[in-house]
Structure 1
Amino acid sequence: MAVQKLPEKDFFAPLKAWKFLVRKPVTIEVPNKIRREASERYRGFHVNDWGKCIGCGTCAKICPTDAITMVEVPDLTQEDGKLPQRPVIDYGRCSFCALCVDICTTGSLKMTREYIHISEDPEDFIFMPTDKGLNAKKGLYEFGKAPLGWVRDENSELLDLERIEMPVEPPEVRIKSFIEIVKGYSREQAMQEAARCVECGVCTYTCPEHMDIPQYIKSVYEDNLEEGLRWLYRTNPLSMVCGRVCTHRCETACSVGVRGEPVAIQWLKRYIVDSIPLERYGEILDIKPERKGKSVGIIGSGPAGLAAAYFLATMGYDVTIYESESKPGGVMRYGIPKYRLPDEALDKDIAFIEALGVKILLNTRVVQDVSFEDVRKRHDVVFLATGFGLGRSTGVPGTDHPDVKQALPLLKMIRDYLRGDGPKPPVPERLVVIGGGNVAMDISRSMARLQFMEYGRVNVQVLSLEGCFEDMPADMEEIEEALEEGIVINPGWGPMEVVIENDRIKGVKFKKCVSVFDGEGRFNPQFDEKEQIFVEADMVVEAIGQAPDYSYLPEEIRSKLEFFRGRIKTNEYNQTSVEWLFAGGDIVHGPDIIHGIADGYAAAKGIDMYLRKEK
């Protein structure tokens, strides 16, 4: 068979290529009228609904070609549950696999049937999708109406939207005692729940203390609880407490919770600390600070005081806490019912703080047992963490009767009684609680248990100004559990008078509340005087909020401090207008345990800078 020879190249062939050196390449876009319509499930260019997108970045994490980058958008309004960033897609790398769409936590990211994009500029292939579509500017369709292609369905769903149910005591069991309601996760349950986390970090962004939530959840999933404990103690030395009674705003912001149930962040935190005995904390955390030779005095052993003490101790400072009660813990000890926060859980957190060398002087009231001036002389810095201990009254006629109680002192009396440190509190057959917050739920449910133990039945009515359960400030789970326990909650009513006959309370007269706040959001309840009800009662508890008590501060100090609506004004490091005096917790930011811990952390950093003269 003859071998075919290729023709010899022209001698001038290489030179012919030079004619293309200055000639501009010609790119012809296929006319719209001859474009082929893609199939309904086609995976084309992306669109992203910014109203739904929360910037979680799960699309970028799952992308197998690293085609997606999360980019911060300066003009985006920052809010809880949303990160100020949006995905940018490099179509030079995108494989159009649609995994980003399948895992999108909010459903904001979709793919269109658009597949043609021609440009001479390579940068045009790097695109931040919005709901308008890539080719909207070319007039191929109306803005916001790109033809949709691939959209996630139940067969391509990559998220587990149902959380592992937490075992709890049924209402017919829990009403009989103050046993802890929540039982806690098993190892298998915790690992399965941890697997639901997409590690987006929206929770960290929203948490007042900015805890390393994805990291400690990952440690649960990997069954490495020692590492989880280290992550917890980087920012929160009261994890036994927060694993039980935190407001868990992180769960409200959880990206998985947008379309399903949020990851049980609080319960996973609790699982870590419940699983590791206190004796191992020192070995695992290995805290060995160099002593600074400086001293800090802290007034109050609530969340802010204990958190500040822990962080200051880890920095090497000598810390002394002055506590007026017989046991440390403040509102955590005396204001939260035992069925939500047992003493054993709080004691474990406090024990490790004391193990770092923190001294807690109990039964030591500033002014009565030690003067504020003496506290100042003993220490280089003083941190105020005294909380809101005074109850507020409605002030309606009859509230000066001895059987009209304030919620916090009554809760303290119940806690002391249950641990054998005080007398039995009064248990009426009929109780009315005025208020709609968590404290109102706490005292109602505590008194309901005492009623059941005393009379074998529950007769507690809660009345609040707010017109419905959703508007009440109490957590919805608290409201639901109270209803399960036989408590009657009647929203939309304000007290007019506590009716008294023969020196005994007969009941409370209420009038209909038609609005709580005015048009500018200020507290200004309005009532319909014509619509009234009467609720029988033998005792009334007011739970409408608390106020601070600054009587321990000398007038000279108080005159130098700045206040706003009863709270002390501080800088970002919780330093007051008196440079050696710091403050945090309720008296700065309000009644919230995690905010108190965040204040303690910030104050510790501020005190450290102040004492090192790095103001």
Structure 2
Amino acid sequence: MPLKDLMAPFYVWKRAFEKPYTTAKPIEERPGAANYRGFHTNDLDLCIGCGTCETICQNEAIDMVPVPGIRPKPGDSGLRPMVDNGRCCWCALCVDICTTGSLRMTNEYIWVSSDPDVYRFIPGTGDNPWDHQELGYRRDPEYHLLRLERSDMEMLDPEQSRQSFIEVVKGYSAEQARKEADRCVDCGICVATCPAHMDIPEYIKAVRDGDFETGLRLLYRTNPMPATCGRICTHRCEDVCSVGHMGDPVAIRWLKRYICDQIPEAEYAGILRDETPTNGRKVAIIGTGPGGLSAAYYLVKLGYAVTLYEAHPQAGGMLRYGVPSYRLPYDQLDKDIDYILSLGVTIHYNTRIGREAEFSELMEAYDAVFFSTGLTEPYGLGVEGENHPRVLSGLQVLEDVTHDRDPGVGTQVAVIGGGNVAMDAARVSCRLGAEVTLLYRRRIEDMPADPEEIHEAQTEQIRFVTQAIPVQVTDAPTPNQVTIQWGEAEMVPDEKGGRPRPVLMEDRMHTETYDSIISAIGQGGDYEFLSQDYADRIEIKRGKVVCNQHRQTGIPKLFVGGDIANNTADAISAIADGHQAAMGIDRFLSG
């Protein structure tokens, strides 16, 4: 062995007199770097419990758990992440994927305890000293694992759309649909908000996989009118989409439509394979809107003989007679209706209960009766002169157009209202060649119409006049016209914290003349079909029929649903009511 190697250990001793390079108190003197990935913290108020952090964690170090004091609500599951530091590898993918930016990592990394259970904790609960630590890892605001922009939807040019009743929205291509489906994080927050509780993540997965048959079966589990809802649903699910906290919400409605657009109606029966047993009991349904059709579908699958009664010559209710074809092409509505009828459902058209058939006869002839007759009685303007012959009902204008009748609106039209009926009446009048002014008593942001309806109406050159309160309707100087006097409104804050209320400023009045004024300020229910002895036994509160959670009225065999019984007044809620009523009727009749 060389002498150098023998002497090497002795050279180490010279280091004994040098200043050491180690840190004497590493726990006290070595804080983590400003962007260090240490222990987790979470803003519990900002967090919505979507579970994307749990899904992305490759070590299964995160579980979603309930937290005392936090309850589920629309857009919030009520759960919060629990982190197991025995499994965590500090990769921070959970922070990068967090849809609200609530989950972060502090620069604290030292935690000494003999109790292994303490290392499984719920960040943000205030039990740990670093919960309010500002330093540590955060996702860069410009960095996202998800694509935040929605896939573009091809639409008719506004100039083209205002000249025809061709469908405005053209739908997704295969590439667009797959790209949009890829944006879904599979959190399921949307399911609780959907009135029908559709399995949204699963049917979006079906789009991603190109498995449209599975997608169709998933749709029909809770919604037998998917081609319709894929076009006109109010899509409250998108309002709570977790991806929408960072960018555009996933286009859930358009993906539902995409599935139905891929499958011809002739193939529905073979794909769905719905069985219709017979149990010997009969149910009558009054009204063939979304509520009545939905109830019919689920009742016939339970074995009931179902008979529908419709006052009009075609089925669909307000979907056909209140929604223009440029929003809902009637062949798509018929696609849904025809499949339901193909299961053996009987329908009597042009049969108005109380006229061609008596309500009492149905109550005697059937084991149960469900009615979903909608809101068909327009509200008046509530001003002097509102019965002028040139003041038209928005609902009547829309029905005339459905029947290919000229509603006679003229070339200068004023529409009063801010809901979907007002937007449809204005846009229909525009397509009939009129210049349209829309008068609304509040602001645009207060309008109850769907935002896309408002936007499309504006792009079609409909003139919006907000904070305008009608005061009086009078004869015009020229025949076949009408004059309206309206005043500007001041928005006064509500003392109870509600939306500001419009107050008329009497010194700021305007007078305008039109060929017609279309009233579209809302509508109520028509209960004339109920004979008095039955009407006295059900409760009607604020214009709505009162029922229990099974949609059952005060008369045990009488059930109700749709706009006439709920406050949301949209198709998907009526569909959910119909499904719920079918289960309620089955519960009532089967004991």
User: Does TM, scored on the shorter chain, surpass 0.5?
Assistant: yes
* Residues 1:278 and 2:271 aligned together: no
Correspondent of 1:325 among 297, 304, 312: 312
| Cα shift at 1:148 | 2.6
- Say if 1:460 and 1:487, in contact at 8 Å, map to a contact too: yes
Match of 2:429 in 1: 447
> For the structure 1 residues 557 and 518, does the alpha-carbon distance in structure 2 shift closer, same or farther, using more than 3 Å as the test?
farther
SS of residue in 2 equivalent to 1:589 = coil
Q: What does residue range 196-595 of structure 1 map to in structure 2 within 5 Å?
A: 196-417=183-404, 423-451=405-433, 458-467=434-443, 469-501=444-476, 504-515=480-491, 518-520=494-496, 521=498, 525-590=502-567, 591-595=569-573
Deviation at 1:428, TM superposition (A): 1.2
Q: Give distance in 1, aligned partners of 2:99 and 2:566.
A: 32
Contact 1:117 1:135 in 2 (8 A): no
State whether structure 2 residue 175 is matched by structure 1 residue 188: yes
Aligned residues: 566
Deviation for aligned residue 1:529? 1.6
Match of 2:12 in 1: none
8 Å CA contact retained: 1:133, 1:146: no
When residues 74 and 607 of structure 1 are mapped into structure 2, their CA distance, relative to the original with a 3 A threshold, is: farther
For residues 241-260 of structure 1, the C-alpha deviation after alignment (integer angstroms, 9 at most, x for no partner) is 10000000001111001110
Q: 2:135 aligns with which of 131, 148, 160?
A: 148
Which stretch shifts more, 471-480 or 293-302?
471-480
- Tell me, in whole angstroms, the C-alpha distance in 1 between the residues paired with 2:91 and 2:38: 10
CA contact (8 A) 1:106 1:258 kept: yes
Using the size of structure 1 for normalisation, the TM-score is 0.89
Checking the alignment, whether the CA contact within 8 Å between 1:407 and 1:542 is kept in structure 2 is yes
For the aligned residue pairs, the C-alpha RMSD in angstroms reads 1.9
| Offset of residue 352 of structure 1 | 0.5
Query: CA 1:516–1:537 in 2, change beyond 3 Å: closer, same or farther?
Result: farther
CA offsets, 1:501-525, max 9 Å, x none?
3565443211122248843459975
Q: Confirm whether residue 126 of structure 1 aligns to residue 120 of structure 2.
A: yes
1:177 aligns with 2:164: yes
Task: Provide the rounded CA distance (Å) in 2 between the counterparts of 1:125 and 1:494.
Answer: 63
CA displacement, residues 34-93 of structure 1 (integer Å, 9 cap, x when unaligned): 231212221111111122111100000000111100012352243321111111111111
**1:47–1:132: 8 Å Cα contact kept in structure 2?**
no
- Counterpart position of 1:603: 581
The normalised TM-score by structure 2 is 0.93
Task: Judge conservation of contact 1:466–1:516 (CA < 8 Å) in 2.
Answer: no
CA contact (8 A) 1:288 1:314 kept: yes
Aligned mates of 1:398, 1:295 — CA distance in 2: 48
Most deviating of 442-451 and 147-156: 147-156
Q: Distance in 2 between matches of 1:292 and 1:176?
A: 52
- Contact 1:46/1:133 (8 A) holds in 2: no
Runs of at least 5 residues in structure 2 that lack an aligned partner in the other structure = 2-23
Percent identity over paired residues? 47
**2:276–2:343 CA contact under 8 A, matched in 1:** no
CA contact (8 A) 2:390 2:482 kept: no
Distance 2:64 2:298 in 1: 34
SS in 1 for 2:581: helix
Q: Distance in 2 between matches of 1:515 and 1:167?
A: 38
Report the 3-state secondary structure (helix = DSSP H, G, I; strand = E; otherwise coil) of the residue aligned with 2:326.
Answer: coil
Residue 161 of structure 1: aligned partner = 148
Q: Aligned partners of 1:245, 1:133: CA distance in 2, in Å?
A: 48
* Amino acid in structure 1 at the alignment position of 2:406: K
Q: Deviations over 1:188-241 (max 9, x none)?
A: 111111111001001101111111000000000001000000100000001011
The equivalent of 2:67 in structure 1 is 73
